[in-house]
Amino acid sequence: MRSLKLLMVLIGTAPFTASALAKTPAHGRAWTLEDVLDAPEVTDLIRGIDAGSALYVVRAAAPSANEIRSTLYKYDPKERAPRKLLSAPAIEQLSREPNSLYYTALLNLGNGLQLYRIDDNGATTPLIVNDHPAVVGHACGAVYANKDSAPQNVGVLSYSWSPDGKWLWYAIPKPQAPSPMLFNQEVENMEWVGCNNGGTDVELRIRAANGADRLVTTRPRRDRAAFYFGGNVKWGEQNVLYRIETGDENAQNRAETINYNLTSGVSKESDLPPDESNQALSKPVDMHFETTGTGATRTLIEHIGAGKTLNRGKVNFSLGDVRAAGAWISRDGKVTIAGVREVDVPRYDLVRIDEKGSRLIGGEDSLTRCDFTSDLDEGFCIREGMNTPPELVHVLPASGKIDRLTAISPRHEEIAPLRVTPKIWTNRLGYVANGFIVWPRDYEAGHAYPAIIVTHGSDADQRFVAHFYQWEYPTQLFAEKGYIVIAMNDPSVRQSPKLMAAMDSWGSPHPSVSPSELRQLIYMNGVYSFEDAVKEMIAAGQVDPAKVGLAGYSRGSQMAQVTMTQSHMFRAASSGDGDFLDPASWWPGRTLYTSVFGGSPYDPKIDAYRELSPHLRAQEASGAMLQQIAHISAGEIHLHRAFEAAHVPTELTYYPGESPNNTETHVFHIPRNRLNAMKENLAWFDFWLLGKEDKELLPSERFASWEAMKASDSTLRAKRP
């Protein structure tokens, strides 16, 4: 048996250019790895203080420094071009300072993330500096935020200006020394972090125009409303409403609204209805519209106070998606603009709502970041799509007119667009999944191509090189190399009450759906969608049935692992940073596992585990499995060992952090790791699907190892369509 292999990846980073891929297109150029690596993401956008201007923050990889950096630009309408104001490792929560000629943002300028004032030329002045910042992110000794947070010193977590600019609300972390001894739940909490990080309180504070500073309240780290959103405040004339999350570590979903009097400094519980308080973590506090229902019954509902609602009719979009552009209400309260996600074609638009009804604003691409005037008569947005690099546009909501102002990354606009087709698939159970087909640049009808499904969960949509969707699976490079790429989402739970009930039961201590039905609806439903989509393209003569692969990270890793041990259709897979469904992981995930399997694997429920768990079905695997991981996980190691024992080709690759105390994050943040992981994926599928060994991607010894796996490959005897 081959020994367990944890590869500390140190692959060379020589450019991988279009010459190694398809023919150079007649107009424009082909994609390169560097294009995918440093594709820009606009993280903030606001209107400028002077008319017609806009400020925006671009986050992108800086490969030469092996880091991610943020850059603040200002679009000047007179010059009709952007001007760089400043660059830093982090620029967050950009806003206008009310009644002033300045902007504010959280900046990391070397002493941690602090609050600064920024003038029109990019000069900075500190406003709030916490001299005792906490390390927040995925690292030993850090305040654990989430698996996607790269570690950095944080002095200020969040802030909010009063509308008149006289008051400044902000939140700061107050780390505590690690406890010398931990017990029970405290020890269990370390399972996801790997070391004793100690406790952390969050101080919610307020500062007056004269500099007087007050402590409003201190909240524990587990209060997500305080830690992530600074209380999600709503300003009144003499008061401010803020939200807190109550309950113990196992019941964090109860929200309360607190009324803080600006004059007296006294806090008391608000008399807002409980249902309004519980919306604290899902949407702005003053947003009075929502979409309800599933499938064809989706309805726009207006909340008009005192528990009354108004049905605004059937709609084909969803409000409340955290990836959408936001929400704005006009100064007179008569018009609302909100970011929405369309149901059929996954993209982000705006909806304008007034007394006459609602109307979508958008087009074939997505509007992902926006800001509007107080009357909502005009604004700016970032428009982007799978073939459209981010660009700044001017929007007139009343007419729906959208005009391009400037490119965000002119270099990416040199790339000749690939053919991308929106698609809706209906599987054998009657459920639909949506996404896109990305075609090879030299595609010719009548020729069968290799194909790869790339999946994550629900974010295959009209965004440009969306890292949260494609991870280190370079969709664009696969297409350049001659693969058909099927970018597919899970079947949306919003299409059916039954699917919605299954999702609500997943991880619930009181599920309404049985484990067997949940396994069918949450897992096998997706497997059938993958299979039926490929079968459709095989029948059309577009896909070679012997050359089909599957790649997915996080939720997608679950689907990749399950599919490879349930279906005979896929010859190779890549699973990114996912270890769910391992029977040995039942203890830390008891509630989740019980909802899926009905109980512990150490009792008669083991038959349910054998039915679904990839770790117990390795002998059923249909092809080679690559696992790329950002932290050492028992579940991933167990799956690797199970595949080895079944003589299934398997590789387990670990991508380390910046130092021994840090780990790479769930969504990779180290450019060298991203580049090497993409190269490994390209080489893996080329080898197992096409029989090619591309020495520009990996050294010869890696291919020699894979050749040895192929010699004893038990999956070659698996039945195939």
Q: Map tokens 């692969």 to a residue.
A: 549
For residue 16, is it left (φ>0), alpha (ψ between -120 and 50) or beta?
Answer: beta
Q: Which of these ranges, 176-180, 315-319, 671-675, 694-698, has the smallest mean pLDDT?
A: 176-180
Q: What is residue 303's predicted lDDT score, i.e. its pLDDT?
A: 87
Greater pLDDT, 430 or 21: 430
Average pLDDT over residues 182-188: 75
Q: What is residue 481's predicted lDDT score, i.e. its pLDDT?
A: 97
Token representation of residue 382: 């970032």
The 3-state DSSP class for residue 461 equals: coil
Q: How far is CA 421 from the centre of its chain?
A: 22
Instruction: Kindly report, residue by residue over 284-320, the tens digit of the pLDDT.
Output: 445 688 999 988 889 999 988 777 889 999 999 999 8
DSSP letter, residue 414: G
Judge whether residue 41 has pLDDT over 60: yes
Alpha-carbon span 276 to 15, nearest angstrom: 53
Contact between 469 and 371 (Cβ < 8 Å): no
Q: Map tokens 């040895």 to a residue.
A: 708
Instruction: Kindly report, residue by residue over 589-604, the tens digit of the pLDDT.
Output: 889 999 999 999 988 8
Q: How many residues does the chain have?
A: 721
Average pLDDT over residues 517-546: 98
Judge whether residue 217 has pLDDT over 50: yes
For the domain 7-13+440-578+613-717, what is the CATH code? 3.40.50.1820
Judge whether residue 329 has pLDDT over 70: yes
Q: What is residue 168's predicted lDDT score, i.e. its pLDDT?
A: 98
Distance set, CA 490 to CA 245, 432, 458, 525 (Å): 31, 9, 6, 8
Alpha-carbon span 585 to 580, nearest angstrom: 8
Percentage of the chain lying above the pLDDT 70 cut: 91
DSSP assignment of 154-179, as one string?
A: ES--EEEE-TTSSEEEEEEEEE-PPP
Judge whether residue 251 has pLDDT over 70: no
Give the helix/strand (H/E) hosting 562.
helix 555-564
Sign, Cα dihedral of 22, 27, 33, 37: negative
Token representation of residue 65: 């420094």
Average pLDDT over residues 99-113: 96
Could you give the count of Cα atoms lying within 13 Å of 268 in the half-sphere of its Cβ?
5
Greater pLDDT, 61 or 661: 61
**pLDDT level of residue 433 (50, 70, 90 thresholds):** very high
Alpha-carbon span 305 to 106, nearest angstrom: 35
Give the domain ranges of the chain. Answer: 7-13+440-578+613-717, 284-408
Residues pairing with 291 in the sheet:
300
Q: What angle do CA 608, 609, 614 make, to 5 degrees?
A: 135
Average pLDDT over residues 267-272: 82
- Going by C-alpha positions, the residue among 10, 12, 4, 7 that lies closest to residue 653 is 7
Judge whether residue 12 has pLDDT over 50: no
Alpha-carbon span 27 to 83, nearest angstrom: 29
Q: Map tokens 């959208």 to a residue.
A: 402
Instruction: Kindly report, residue by residue over 456-506, the tens digit of the pLDDT.
Output: 999 999 999 999 999 999 999 999 999 999 999 999 999 999 999 999 999
Instruction: Kindly report, residue by residue over 114-136, the tens digit of the pLDDT.
Output: 999 999 999 999 999 999 999 88
At the topology level, CATH places domain 284-408 in Neuraminidase (2.120.10)
Q: What is residue 589's predicted lDDT score, i.e. its pLDDT?
A: 83
Q: What is residue 194's predicted lDDT score, i.e. its pLDDT?
A: 66
Instruction: Kindly report, residue by residue over 487-501, the tens digit of the pLDDT.
Output: 999 999 999 999 999
Contact between 313 and 270 (Cβ < 8 Å): no
Three-state SS letters, 485-551: EEEECCCCHHHCHHHHHHHHHCCCCCCCCCHHHHHHHHHHHHHHHHHHHHHHHHHCCCEEEEEEEEE
State how beta strands 449-455 and 543-553 pair: parallel
Q: What is residue 286's predicted lDDT score, i.e. its pLDDT?
A: 57
Alpha-carbon span 311 to 250, nearest angstrom: 36
The reported pTM is 0.92
Inter-helix orientation angle 555-564/525-539, to 10°: 70
Q: What is residue 221's predicted lDDT score, i.e. its pLDDT?
A: 84
- Going by C-alpha positions, the residue among 250, 144, 120, 244 that lies closest to residue 194 is 144
Alpha-carbon span 634 to 645, nearest angstrom: 16
Q: Map tokens 């409980």 to a residue.
A: 274
Judge whether residue 190 has pLDDT over 90: no
Judge whether residue 249 has pLDDT over 70: no
Instruction: Kindly report, residue by residue over 413-425, the tens digit of the pLDDT.
Output: 999 999 999 999 9
Three-state SS letters, 605-664: CHHHHHHHCHHHCHHHCCCEEEEEECCCCHHHHHHHHHHHHCCCCEEEEECECCCCCEEC
Average pLDDT over residues 184-194: 69
At position 350, the amino acid (one-letter code) is L
φ, ψ of residue 523 in degrees (nearest 5) = -110, -60
Judge whether residue 1 has pLDDT over 70: no
Q: What is residue 305's predicted lDDT score, i.e. its pLDDT?
A: 73
Q: Map tokens 């092809």 to a residue.
A: 623
- Going by C-alpha positions, the residue among 195, 75, 88 that lies closest to residue 139 is 195
Alpha-carbon span 290 to 282, nearest angstrom: 11
Instruction: Kindly report, residue by residue over 387-422, the tens digit of the pLDDT.
Output: 999 999 999 999 999 999 999 999 999 999 999 999
Count other C-beta atoms under 10 Å from residue 302's C-beta.
15
Beta-strand (E) ranges in 327-480? 327-329, 336-342, 348-354, 357-361, 366-372, 379-385, 388-396, 401-407, 420-426, 432-438, 449-455
Alpha-carbon span 476 to 466, nearest angstrom: 11
Contact between 238 and 253 (Cβ < 8 Å): no
Judge whether residue 274 has pLDDT over 90: no
Q: How far is CA 691 from the centre of its chain?
A: 33
The 3-state DSSP class for residue 310 equals: strand
Q: What is the Cα Rg of the chain in Å? A: 26
Alpha-carbon span 530 to 455, nearest angstrom: 10
Q: How far is CA 641 from the centre of its chain?
A: 30
**pLDDT level of residue 212 (50, 70, 90 thresholds):** very high
DSSP assignment of 274-297, as one string?
A: HHHHTTTTTS-TT--EEEESSGGG
Distance set, CA 670 to CA 89, 181, 300, 389, 675 (Å): 12, 34, 42, 22, 9
Q: Say which residues have a Cβ less than 8 Å from residue 616's Cβ, sequence separation at least 6.
A: 583, 609, 610, 642
Summary mean pLDDT of the chain: 90
Q: What is residue 252's predicted lDDT score, i.e. its pLDDT?
A: 46
Task: Give rounded-to-5 percent helix, strand, coil for the chain.
Answer: 25, 35, 45
Judge whether residue 15 has pLDDT over 60: no
Q: What is residue 379's predicted lDDT score, i.e. its pLDDT?
A: 97
Sign, Cα dihedral of 654, 659, 663, 667: negative
Alpha-carbon span 548 to 623, nearest angstrom: 10
Distance set, CA 46 to CA 56, 371, 614 (Å): 6, 5, 47
Instruction: Kindly report, residue by residue over 345-392, the tens digit of the pLDDT.
Output: 999 999 999 999 999 999 999 999 999 999 999 999 999 999 999 999
**pLDDT level of residue 155 (50, 70, 90 thresholds):** very high
**pLDDT level of residue 248 (50, 70, 90 thresholds):** low
Q: What is residue 283's predicted lDDT score, i.e. its pLDDT?
A: 44
Judge whether residue 535 has pLDDT over 70: yes
Q: What is residue 19's predicted lDDT score, i.e. its pLDDT?
A: 37
**pLDDT level of residue 428 (50, 70, 90 thresholds):** very high
